[in-house]
Amino acid sequence: MNEIYGFVNFDKTIASSEYIGKMYSAIAHREPDGGGVYRKEFAAFGFTFFRDSDSEVVAPISMPDYNRADSILFVSTAKLHNRSSLCRNMAIPSEIESEISDEELTKKAYYLWKEKAGSHLSGNWALAAWHEDEMKLFLSKDSGSISKLYYYSTPSVFVFASSLESIKAHSAIPSGFGDVQSNNSSEIIVTPDFPGNSENIIFCLQTIST
């Protein structure tokens, strides 16, 4: 799948292009086919695209995206299993369905349903949405085990990525970080009062069957 990564400086320092660049460089050896970054004051998101020869849909991917109307910075990676029904629910004409990437559909779903978008998505996906006006970051992924979404937090910065390589490249991550642990959830809401990590642990959004 494609990769997403980024961070939010809750201490309100301007997001550094150097840090988001390092998160990209950590996976550049995999020879990505494209991608982009978007910085918005305290937040920076990145997206890296890997061409999938097995995909039935070949469509442009414009990620990350900034929705000026709602002041939302958004990024996602997705391989959806319910494209047709999702398009119908969002009134997208069937004749242009093949022109829209899974990431684009995920983006449209989030802008329409916000934090309830996950209940409309089926497949493998992960997303991050920074609500600038509310100083709120929303992370979510499918409830399966294929998609990964890691995060690390301190009182001043929250870092996330779909790959360990990317998240470990951010300067906030200690070189000798501890174990990767599941938080037993498929979504998380982060605000300025979110507790910082005092144990040097990288967490992974993951629903564990009981």
- The domain ranges of the chain are 3-51+59-204
* Least confident range of 52-56, 67-71, 96-100, 186-190: 52-56
The per-residue b/e assignment along 34-53, b for 16 or more CB within 10 angstroms, e otherwise, is ebbbbbbebbbbbbbbeeee
Q: Is 90 exposed, middle or buried (0-12, 13-18, 19+ CB in 10 A)?
A: middle
Q: Which of 107, 45, 46 is nearest to 80 (CA)?
A: 107
- Give the whole-number percent of the chain exceeding pLDDT 70: 88
pLDDT digits (tens, 9 = 90+) for 5-18: 999 999 999 999 99
**pLDDT value at residue 196:** 66
Task: Check whether 34 has a pLDDT greater than 90.
Answer: no
Cα pseudo-dihedral 154, 186, 150, 82, rounded to 10: -140
Task: Supply the CATH classification number for the domain 3-51+59-204.
Answer: 3.60.20.10
**pLDDT value at residue 210:** 33
50, HSE (Cβ side, Cα atoms, 13 Å): 14
Mean pLDDT within 47-72: 78
Task: Check whether 148 has a pLDDT greater than 50.
Answer: yes
The per-residue DSSP string of 60-129 comes to ----SEEETTTTEEEEEEEEES-HHHHHHHTT--GGGGGGS-HHHHHHHHHHHHGGGGGGG--EEEEEEE
Q: Which of 83, 34, 35, 31 is nearest to 57 (CA)?
A: 83
Task: Check whether 117 has a pLDDT greater than 90.
Answer: yes
64 φ/ψ sector (left φ>0, alpha ψ -120 to 50, else beta): beta
**pLDDT value at residue 195:** 66
pLDDT digits (tens, 9 = 90+) for 160-190: 999 999 999 999 888 766 568 777 788 888 8
Task: Check whether 86 has a pLDDT greater than 90.
Answer: yes
Phi, psi of 207 (to 5 degrees): -85, 120
Q: How many CB atoms lie within 10 A of CB 127?
A: 27
**pLDDT value at residue 188:** 87
**pLDDT value at residue 111:** 97
Using CA of residue 122, residue 44, residue 168, residue 196, what is the dihedral sign?
A: negative
